[in-house]
Amino acid sequence: MEDLVTMPDSCDQGKSPWTFRVDRMAADDVALVGNQCMLGNGYVGYRGTLEEYSSDQLVGCMLNGVYDQVPGKWRETVNAPNGLFTRIEGAGEMSRHQLELNIRKGRLRRDSTVAMPFGVVTIQSERFVSHDNVHLICMSYSVRPSESGAVVVHTGIDREVWDINGPHLGDFEISEVGEVLCVSATTQELGITVAVSEVIDCPFEVSVAGSTRTVTFEAEAGRTYGFTKYVSIYTSLDCDAPVDESIRCCREAKAAGYDSLGVAHDERWENHWRDCDVEIEGDDEAQFALRYSLYQIQLAAPRHSETVSIPARALSGQVYKGAVFWDTEMFMTPVFTLTDPSVARNLILYRYHTLPGALAKAKEYGYKGAFYAWEGQEGGKEACTHFNVTDVFTGRPMRTYFRDKQIHISADIVYAIWQYVELTGDDSVLVEGAAEVMVECARFFYSYAYFKEDKDRYELIDVTGPDEYHERVGNNSYTNRMVKHCMDATLAALKRLEELDPDGYEDLDTKTGFVKELSRWARFSERLYIPKPAESSRIIPQFDGYETLEDVSVQALKERVLNPNEYLGGGSGLATTTKVLKQADVVLMLNLFPNDHELDVVRKNWEYYEPRTEHGSSLSACAYAMVGATIGRADWAYDYFMKTATVDLTGNSKQYVGTLYIGGTHPAANGGSWLSAVYGFAGLSANAESISCKPSLPSKWKSMRFTVRWRGDRYAVHVTQEKGTVLKCKEVVKV
Ligand code: BGC
């Protein structure tokens, strides 16, 4: 974390640090700091930019699940106009500046000294994106001039927000209703209305022009003058009258006041921490990094709706088109399954609501069932294009096969659903749509597979596994194993549905006609080829023919690179003809199916694939951390854990693929940090029958404590270097 992040002294609650400070203010830092100091509540993500910033400094107020496409450009999430915009007239360069993010409470404070025509002014602000009311953002703002005189502050709603493929909003309308200002606009493609209202509580003279207020007062040198501001956002996806709703919300917020709204917000955060916190004794750096990761993932958790999910860059911007990937099911949902199942439930049902897109995609390719989008947007629409990367040398778009061949996404979704059902005991999700998702995914895989008469087995050929550098391979071990799990889990889920809700079972059959396919699916699962460890080496081949590729180290491969942003995969990528893989693939599979192989096989594969993995994706390191801990190499695992847990603190991640900017926050890594700590170091193991732990702590960790929710009850887990205990808590927790 070096000089980017000052490890805090201590915050006002508890003995461990919960805040970090950033004092960077150069123009080059705005992207990183904007990510580091994010606020959000699953409905909206607000970047950590300063009040006076505008589109050039990447101000983003990203609305989860609101997408728009400008003709000829990529569809992406919409940023709402910036209701926190505030600027002091005459303010110049900052001479001193600090942002302090309190991750325990989701509050961001600013303290800056800024040059004025006469003297300087100290600006202090605090903001929070309410966790009590997802439509509300609150800010308090104050100034303290060094010289007496008139101070003029402009504050209002600014349209100049970050757009990668915009502009998305048009037909702007400004209204002033009583003391509330409102800007509404509509998206280009679907005509969604976005309404942003704001009101201020201010004792000074205020005039309004357009969507900006001007606050004027005579200030005495050294005295502090301030106001509070309430911003509310609604869209026509939320309600019929978003303008009215946002105005009403602002009025109510002003009446309630900043402090009381803050108390309600803080209470919600206390609940989140009660559910997800992990205490690490003996390693403050790891402690903070893990908590920070949990903070980031909480910002994007959709508690309010099952029609949105968590995009690959969370709500930090339009990067990756604001789309939802397999990242959610493999690295985020499992965290919520054990900490806050209601969020996991929403994430799962999101896939039910987006099933139409997955059915359409399978059909487009000539398959049956549900082929989920690689980059999913509203309704499950596929956002990934056929030419998704631009070659840095020629400037030409490259044909990539992420969209066409990463079929594992449908199996990943089923994995998350079944894990949720098993670990929470909440079968009702099957009735409410998850069983239908499973049926359609199973049906898709059956239609995708080939039966090879000569080998008497089913195979999955022409696929891309998690390692995207090797496209269109045969029998990717991860994919085949996940598909087998998909078939088995679907059969088990349907059996359960039949017992639980015979009418629902029949209705599902009437709707989808699955019953006649069940025996085929069982046979497919039995005869699906699962690559085995080689006789002598015990290495599981990543795919057919992997062993014939050039064996070169990651380091040696990197020496061949001509342009730091060149894409290593695809048709002509440097890694394509070598064994170098982008991210955990076989190792991820070993982690998901820990009972498939003896520990010795797991260890040999970890050791084999580790030096060949580039970790070109932020999803990779946590898989190596988890498996590393399982094989008793906690200290190897530790480095991978820290790499995962600090990715959004340090900003050490790939920023470009080809010419495509991919910066932002990394919720999969954030979730992966918790998974590494809990499943890896604490060695938690849970299924429908039992829950236990077998710790393998890094040498400097004395102990870990956390709670999980398992099958309706809360359990306290305490592990030390020597042993682990899992004890049922007295309180009753409803899923
Ligand atoms: C990774 C994918 C991941 C995507 C979004 C890519 O770099 O290879 O596995 O889903 O980023 O995080």
Handedness of CA 282, 283, 284, 290 (dihedral sign): negative
Report the separation in Å between the CA atom of 617 and the middle of ligand 1, taken as the mean of its atom positions. Answer: 6
In this predicted structure, which of 12-16, 228-232, 275-279, 486-490 has the lowest mean pLDDT? 12-16
The answer, yes or no, to whether residue 6 has pLDDT greater than 90, is no
- H helices present in 585-661, as ranges: 586-592, 599-609, 620-630, 634-645, 647-650
What is residue 731's predicted lDDT score, i.e. its pLDDT? 63
Closest atom of ligand 1 to 320 CA is 5
On whether the CB atoms of residues 475 and 544 are closer than 8 A, the answer is yes
Asked whether the predicted pLDDT for residue 319 surpasses 80, the reply is yes
CB 432 within 8 A of CB 353: no
Average pLDDT over residues 431-444: 98
- Determine the average pLDDT of the residues in 305-326: 97
Q: Best substitution site from 297, 309, 321, 468 to test ligand 1's pocket, by max atoms within 8 Å of Cβ?
A: 468
Residue numbers annotated as active site: 468
Is the CB of residue 38 less than 8 Å from the CB of residue 296? Answer: yes
Residue 581 has pLDDT above 90, yes or no: yes
Q: Given this model, what pLDDT does residue 25 score?
A: 83
Q: Closest Cα to atom 7, ligand 1: which residue?
A: 617
Question: Which of 296, 313, 327 for mutating ligand 1's site (highest number of atoms within 8 Å of CB)?
Answer: 327
422: CA distance to ligand 1 center in Å? 27
Share of the chain above pLDDT 90, in %: 93
Residue range 517-561, pLDDT digits in tens: 999 999 999 999 999 999 999 999 999 999 999 999 999 999 999
- Measured CA to CA, the distance from residue 348 to residue 337 in angstroms comes to 10
What is the whole-number distance in angstroms between the Cα of residue 392 and the centre of ligand 1? Answer: 19
Q: Tokens standing for 234? A: 């609604």
Q: Flag whether pLDDT at 295 surpasses 60.
A: yes
Q: What share of the chain is helix, strand, coil (3-state, %, to 5)?
A: 35, 25, 40
pLDDT at 14 over 50: no
Res. 16 pLDDT band, cuts 50 70 90? low
* pLDDT number for residue 12: 34
Q: Which residues contact 636 (CB under 8 A, 6 or more apart)?
A: 624, 628
Nearest CA to 674 out of 298, 417, 284, 312 is that of 298
> 655 alpha carbon to ligand 1 midpoint, in Å?
13
pTM (predicted TM-score): 0.96
Question: How close is the Cα of 376 to the center of ligand 1, in Å?
Answer: 13
Distance CA 208, CA 55 (A): 22
Atom of ligand 1 nearest to the CA of 616: 7
d(CA 477, CA 470): 13
Examine the pLDDT at 454 and tell me if it is beyond 60: yes
**Can you tell me which residue has the tokens 């969209």?**
403
What pLDDT, in 10s, does the model give residues 690-715? 999 999 999 999 999 999 999 999 99
2 pLDDT above the threshold of 70: no
Q: Which residues line ligand 1 (CB under 6 A)?
A: 312, 320, 325-327, 466, 468, 582-583, 617, 619, 668
Confidence class of residue 721 from pLDDT cuts 50, 70 and 90?
Answer: very high
Q: Beta strands 44-46 and 39-40: pairing type? A: antiparallel
Work out the average pLDDT over 324-334. Answer: 98
| Least confident piece of the model among 375-379, 389-393, 495-499 | 389-393
* Measured distance CA(452)–CA(141) in Å, rounded: 69
Taking Cα atoms as reference points, which of 224, 256, 429, 344 lies closest to residue 671?
A: 344
Please tell me the predicted confidence (pLDDT) of residue 26: 85
**478 sits in which H/E element:** helix 477-500
Give the model's pLDDT for residue 661.
75
Domains of the chain: 5-273 (2.70.98.40), 277-729 (1.50.10.10)
Distance of CA 79 to the CA centre of its chain: 17
pLDDT at 8 over 60: no
Q: Kindly state the average pLDDT of the residues 224-237.
A: 98
**What are 52-74's pLDDT values in tens digits?**
999 999 999 999 999 999 999 99
Q: Which residues pair with 205 in a beta bridge?
A: 216
Residue nearest to atom 1 of ligand 1 (CA): 617
Q: What's the average model confidence in pLDDT over 325-347? A: 98
| Average pLDDT over every residue of 502-514 | 98
162 CA to centre of own chain: 19
* Torsion sign over Cα 212, 213, 218, 219: negative
Strand partners, 707: 716
pLDDT of residue 364: 98
- pLDDT given for residue 654 in this prediction: 75
Mutate which of 325, 330, 377, 467 for ligand 1? The one with the most ligand atoms within 8 Å of its CB, which is 325
